[in-house]
Structure 1
Amino acid sequence: MLRNISIVCMVLVASWVSSAQASTGYALIVGVSHYPSLDERMQLDGPKYDSEMVAAYLKKQRSGLFRQENIKVLADGISGAQTPTKAAIQRGMDAIASKALEGDFVYLHFSGHGSQQPARQGDLSETDGRDELFLPADIGAWDDSVGTVKNALVDDEIGQLIGNIRKKGAFVWVVFDSCHSGTVTRGAPAGEDVHMRKVEPSALGIPQAAMDAADRNGTKTRGKGAAPESSFVKMGDSSGKAGGLVAFYAAQSTEQAPEMRLPQGEDGRLPHGLFTFTLLQTITEHPGITYRRAAQEVLQRYSALNMDRPTPLFEGDMDSRVFGSNQVDEKPQWPIEKRGGEIRIPAGNLSRLSSGSIVAFLDSPGADEKSAVGYAKVVNPTAMESVLQPIEYRGKKAISPNALPENGYARLVEQKMDLSLRVARPEWKDTYPKEARERIQKIMDSLKPEEGSGLRLQWVDVGQPADIRLAYAQAGSEQEQLWLLPPTGNLVTAGANKTPSIILKGKDDAQLKLALLDNLTRVARVVNLLRVSQGMGAGSSAMEVMLKVKRKADGITRELSATSIPSLYPGDEVHLLAVNTGRKPVDVNVLFVGSDYSISHWYKERIHPNGKLSTGLFRVSADSFGKERVIVVTNEAKPESEVVDLSFLAQKAMPKTRGNALTGMGALLQEAGFGGVKTRGVEPLGGAEEGGASSILQFIIDTAASLDM
């Protein structure tokens, strides 16, 4: 049973309800990479890099709120930082509580392992029968005499420490980038680039019998005396003095929170928690963003990675602005710095700059791009800094560094977007038949997309970052299959959300090649659609879009938020409401991306200023289950033009298991920019006039076969 705030796999974010800046900012940053009491395989790499990146971000990007002496780092592997023991964490939070005043802003960041233990006897607030834990560096073992893991930070303790700060009237933003384990089967290795921030309760010495008893207790108490979903940190008190809170959760309690080398594809990338990196990237690009739009952006960026899990969750005062900022999104541009013979800008991967991105040199931040004196490409970007190399571009020769304007600016004009499909080869075990390995290897080597299809395949080795992972499974000659796994390598062998596969028996090489190419084509079209969605931004136009769900169970219609991933069931109906609040007409297209890699085009309409569109979209069927997406694409309408029609993106579902030979390859990529070239440039949306921007807004849902009672 999920109880939102009590989940360790989470990111909690506090709201800031005043438009004015907080008088004083305090930050406590905790990163636990090394656990002396745990096995070597459970050691982490990313928390220390998370801690360094978060501290640098606060010092450089939010220096007006956080003075350096008010930023405390507890992390192993960082020079000058204290060891993140339980006592040190408690002292750090108590120190903030002693200093904080009403109107102050407090940022807390925790990166490390999470786990669970049986809830204390009689604690009915834990409706799943378990306490969630954050593991400090001095974590010990289960003590059966007291019923707890030694030195664990239990959810109730964390809630009390945060509550002490909020009682002073300070606003708290707390991030927990840690997790408990998932329940799916590992089907292919994710490699050294990906680690899960999880520790099984058994690794802490908790007997399985105790966990089983906790589960039984949770089942008994479900729905009886359960605490409200936001009971981990109380959302306020009757005095009205307590500071506010918004909660961002990295994952559900049964899911894995990954750390990986980021950003993908960049030289010199470092291990980071995926949620920490994505969140910081979002608020760096959009410094004045609201929590609601930040949540939408985070979900879209996860979606673009083709991650089947984890499932972020969000709640609270979502319309407040992060850090209480009153900034507005501006054009992505930065002052030019000449240093050590190089041209640099104070922006990098967190601003979504990557090697190959192109900027224009301007003599002032307000200059039009037509007056650019030259252009440069980004090389060697780090999290918050990039080197620029002048290039010939758009008819202008490469400018000499000496000719750059004093106090000049570099404005982003083209982002790099890689639209190739990265496919990881299967892992081969000694027990697998040599004939199968040689056959599949020959098929992969000969796999060439049809000319003009736009599909670009990039083969990578086992364990390398990939969009899809191939896995061979042998369960007798009748069931030899080639599985197509998500980037996490998770394999589901049965049920409605079964992983797609191809049965090898009964196919000659030509048929197997055709089946694999067709499946990869369908995957590529979905992955690239989600990548373009990420590049366009969430809800950045003047369109107000809302989805509503009418539940079959009770007939009640409710709003379906773009900042949550609700579960829908067969018979539930989804309806669309879109209102144009801008000054220009907007074309709206509605797409549905199924968990079976289908793409459906459901609606296209032009909405004029102050116009409204209200229509039913679909009823949930029993055909497929899993993460599915409603994508609303808006474009500024050109006068006298026809309504933009994206129906060419539609494609049929990918069969869960291909048993018979195919007679056709299905729909290949159309001329829509998806995979047309290996790397494409897209213009950024920052600074667009009201109503003049295009946007792609995703509503992610989790369809299930039946209600989880």
Structure 2
Amino acid sequence: MTIAARLMLLLVLFATGGNAAAVQRALLVGVSELVNQPQVLWLQAPRNDVMLMRQTLMKQGFAPADITMLADGVAGAALPEAQRINEALARLLEQSRAGDFVMLYFSGHGTRLRDSTKRYQEPDGLAENFLARDARGTDSSGGSLPGGLRDVDFDRWIRAFLGKNVFVWSVFDTCSAASMTRSAAQPVEDVGPADDEVRFRGVRAGQLAASGQPALAQPAAPPPPEPAGVPRARYVAFFASESHQVTPELRLPRKARNARNAQPQGLLTWAVAEALQQKPATWRDLFNGVLDLYPPVIEELESRFPARELPSPVAEGNLDLPIFSNAAAPLSTRPVWRAERAGGSLTLKVGLLDGLEPGQEVRIVATLADGLQRTAQGRLVQADLGSARLAVPAALGELAQATSWSVTPVAEPASAALRVRSDSALPGGISLDYPASIRAAADAQADVRWVDLGAAGGRLEVLSPALAAAAQAGAAPAGAVVRDAAEARVRLQALAQLKWMSRLAELAKEGRLDGFDAVLEVRDESRVLRSAEVRDTAGGTLVLRQGERAELIVRNGSGHSIDLVVVGIDAQGILRAVYPEDLGEANRFERGTREAPASKRFALPWLKPGRAARLLVLATPAQARSAPRLFGAGMAETATNAGANTAELRVRGQLTPERDRQVYGAILRWTNAATP
């Protein structure tokens, strides 16, 4: 190689971060036959799902040699046994390099059982397992399922890929899916006529125990490495159902029931393949396209299985990133919401709680059946707590054949913005989730004044009475001097987020969510000393003493799943994610009943004796077959220090130049005066 050629190669490697040959790979697993179980528990579609997904990925540019298949009944594919699945994951991890893209796909039965070895405990105490071909019944202790792949093991594999800077897209077309990366299903029922039968994916662990034989000893697969503190910035997952639900397989597409191309498929798999044909730009676009395909199928299944709770797909991760890439920068900097058309109106299932306000300007996108899009501008004519409405723009009025509608706010709402008065530029790199933002303002309207002190840093002065209490919480004491731009950025972000959090609590304060409660407990090492419902602690009545700690207990006995967000601000003004704890985690909290509520306990180690803090709890009934709903209180930043790298963050709010329902909500204002 000549010197010039070597220099050119070095330049190419430098420009691409040393990864000039990023590769897209996939592992597709489909388990139709459980060979150690009665055939009544077998499925028909997973082998078809694997073939459909392979064809779909090749249309997206995946090379056939980079798609590994483990499926029974598929020519050339290895059998999907537990050991082989773990070995395939290990090989894929070894092959992967920084910048690569990996899809992990699983189609088949899932089940749930108790597993006391889990570090993360589900609200109902059950663990999700994917059943490999050689799955057997539980052992005598009930905590092990031979031939089952545990949710915690999937989570470790995903974190191992993320630790190598590999983007991971996971798809679980199984029952009990939404916790597969961290129920006892209903019994097998009448599946319908042979030419159009419907099977539901999911078996009870007890069914396996009754029909399985004692398992032979097998060498345990080596666990994947566990990189510490890896953020899920390059991660997206689609789940066929919530943790307590099962998902169907049936002949698809329904409009061609008797045609040759209609064959048994998993509903999620088919919907993903169909939605990809519309060439979505982001994972959110893809998931919304999947949701658009569910209603006619669900309506038909509801008439055939009226007692069955039908599945609600769940998505988590960085949904605004470009599809099939390893990019960290989102294509969309503002939320995209599905809309439903009725006559001349478009209705959104989001509203004031999500950062919308009457009169707000929005961008409307109509996606036609062939994937083409038409856009127009409009304004909201109505916004309630959980819904909003606008007129269909005249330019789009004739599009009766539009397959889907979506709405995006043109800008953050002015009412949520932190108004800052400054005679100099604010620190750069400010990163906020919609709808929080920061805008320049005159003295009379400003919430905060920023004074640049040059080499000495700067001074933040809280001017708004509404934020004066926040200053006592440590977010930015009145007149506080900050050392550098990084610290100023963190404090400004905390104040902007706190302003929105306070508005959320104000909007929801009169609401009630039947069967839901959030209790704060003060404990020592052995017992609960005192407790109170969070909405009753506004006066700071629960004081921490030395040697005590605070914990939050959330209970959902409402009878349905809920969308839950819990976030705090500690004494240093740092935002603290409580639930969801991770950027890549869904905020769908499991359903429970009054007799058997789903509950979870959260440690709050950043609540310290003698230090003030804030804690927001917000919950609403989850809407079936809807995209994630974080109410603008989700955490864009997972790091908890002023020097956090902002390269991975979504920039939801920017400084504006000077030229230019049933709901539970409570905010804990913890004054927490020092007590001996």
Question: RCO higher in 1 or 2 (8 Å CA, sep ≥ 6)?
Answer: 1
Q: Same fold by TM-score, threshold 0.5 exceeded?
A: no
Q: Which TM-score applies when normalising by structure 2? A: 0.44
Q: Which TM-score applies when normalising by structure 1? A: 0.43
